[in-house]
A = this chain, B = another copy of it.
Amino acid sequence: MSASQGSILRLSPADEVGVALRLLPAGVGLNGPDGGILIPAADIPQGHKIALVDLPAGATVHKYGQAIGRTTSAVAAGGHVHSHNLAMAETAAAYEFGTARFQPPAEEGRHFRGYRRRNGLAGTRNYIGILTSVNCSAGTARMIADQFRGPVLDAFPNVDGVMALTHSSGCGMVLGSPGAEVLFRTLSGYARHPNFAGLLVVGLGCEMLQADRLIDDTVSADVVERLVIQESGGVRASVRAGVELVRQMLPVVNRLQRIPIDAAELVLGMNCGGSDGYSGITANPALGVASDRLIGCGGTSVLAETPEVFGAEHLLTRRAVSRAVGERLLERLQWWQEYTGHGGGSLDNNPSPGNKAGGLTTILEKSLGAVAKAGRAELREVVDYAGRIRGPGLVFMDTPGYDPVSVTGIVAGGANVVCFTTGRGSVLGCRPAPSIKLGTNTELFRRMPEDIDINCGEIIDSGVGVEEMGARIFARILETASGRQTVSEELELGQEEFVPWQLGAVT
């Protein structure tokens, strides 16, 4: 990571573009990274790229020392480099497997205070979950959960909350299809999640995915109940019955106590959303440092968002522990090209209008920044969406980039703490897992102070090093796992953001 050079940050010495650290007005000269004078030809918004040298049409442009695309017209030094003159070039990378394996230095004696569940897993929260098998029971589940908001929980200080997990599917699926399997895996993962000390599964009765299938011996919860609306006299009677069942769980769940647990039992889910030009230079690399620290402690860290890795996959295959793991990653990327192709799209569509407004031009550029979250640790495993994360070490989960869907898969897999980087201002919560929001820039932190846990913008404007910011994040992960509330938990966010990936036909 290069130090800031005034108004322009060059990330790698050979880069032809720099990042504007503030709005660079047209015609106003400023010092370039090499000390020469650059005069922006047009206003260059904060976070966007400025040409540091004259670029002919067709020139390969580098950022992070990596190719991010090719100019579609000539750009003079000082010009704004973005969608109007930069497009993704075909990469002809020869994949290497396991040629860049790295194990973060071992670190001993790190603990958090968590809940030891009866199935052996470690919880970081103590929730009662109301899980639904089908959309038809969603209203009922919400009504039950709504009875436990506010002062009614004051008598149960060890209960973090009662939450409903509702979704839009569970019927109208093709039985046995990959889509039905993904939904089942997701719901089962939540049923098993170590942050649920109490679990109530609510079904309608005639749905394809029956409530009983979600309850088995692998759940973490000490108290497990089921309720089927068609067997219980309808909505009103089921709400009454469900409220009573939860009421009986409260004292049981409240008696559970936090105990010291080795940091090795943390499973850190990572994600980014509403990325901007700073994501890849502040919050993501700082999170990469924290991820490596956790892995050094014997813990597990989960990178995901397959479409956002596209273009940087050759960096990950080099880090794979085996050819099989690397090839599994490539196989998933291949699947994604077909999946998005069927919809008439391509993986290049991924940067949203918001991303582009923030200064990211191509998926490739975004991917390099996105992969920075995963630090340097070797890649141990590639798991399916919502598949059980076994760890330790760095695991890749195959998910969409879309935040609620991606994070839902990661939490279903067993993540007990999540770090989420955002430049534009995501407000995602993911209860029952705490979500630590890492802002990429100080302007965001000032604009939405109640939605950001840590301002990684200090890397740019307060001279905090990436290593130091990573250490802060790692410390916050341990504190959060021990019970410190995140901003999204204070707001009780995270019911609406439970969105299992819907794959396949709705019939």
- Is B230's CB under 8 angstroms from A424's CB? yes
Q: How far is the CB of A147 from chain B (nearest CB, A)?
A: 12
- Is A139's CB under 8 angstroms from B450's CB? no
Q: Which residues from B are CB-within-8-Å of A504?
A: 342-344
Q: Which residues from B are CB-within-8-Å of A345?
A: 174-175, 177, 505, 507
- Is B507's CB under 8 angstroms from A400's CB? yes
- Is B208's CB under 8 angstroms from A353's CB? yes
Indicate whether A424 sits within 8 Å of B205 (C-beta atoms), given known contacts A168-B404, A345-B177, A448-B233.
yes
In whole angstroms, what is the CA distance A505 to B349 when docked? 12
The CB with the most chain B CB atoms within 10 A, among A138, A357, A401, is that of A138
Residue of B nearest to A494 (CB): B139
- Count class of interface residues, chain A: 35 or more
Whether, in the assembled complex, A66 has its beta carbon less than 8 Å from a beta carbon of chain B, the answer is no
Whether, in the assembled complex, A465 has its beta carbon less than 8 Å from a beta carbon of chain B, the answer is no
- Is B506's CB under 8 angstroms from A425's CB? no
Whether, in the assembled complex, A56 has its beta carbon less than 8 Å from a beta carbon of chain B, the answer is no
Contact of A135 among B176, B350, B449, B497 (CB under 8 A): B497
Whether, in the assembled complex, A70 has its beta carbon less than 8 Å from a beta carbon of chain B, the answer is no
8 Å CB interface, A386-400 against B: 400
Majority secondary structure, A binding face: loop
In whole angstroms, what is the CA distance A263 to B403 when docked? 45
Contact of A507 among B307, B354, B507 (CB under 8 A): B307
- Is A448's CB under 8 angstroms from B506's CB? no
- Is B451's CB under 8 angstroms from A235's CB? yes
- Is A497's CB under 8 angstroms from B138's CB? yes
Whether, in the assembled complex, A502 has its beta carbon less than 8 Å from a beta carbon of chain B, the answer is yes
Q: How far is the CB of A161 from chain B (nearest CB, A)?
A: 14
In whole angstroms, what is the CA distance A233 to B400 when docked? 28
Interface string of A176-206 (1 = CB under 8 A from B): 1111000000000000000000000000111
A-B residue pairs, 10 tightest by C-beta: A206-B354, A172-B402, A174-B345, A138-B496, A234-B448, A206-B424, A343-B504, A234-B451, A343-B505, A168-B499
- What would 14 more interface pairs be, CB under 8 Å, given A138-B496, A178-B344, A236-B491? A136-B273, A136-B426, A168-B168, A178-B343, A205-B424, A206-B354, A206-B357, A233-B447, A233-B450, A235-B427, A236-B450, A350-B507, A405-B506, A502-B502
Q: Can you list 7 A-B contacts (CB < 8 A)?
A: A136-B427, A171-B403, A230-B425, A230-B448, A234-B450, A345-B507, A400-B506
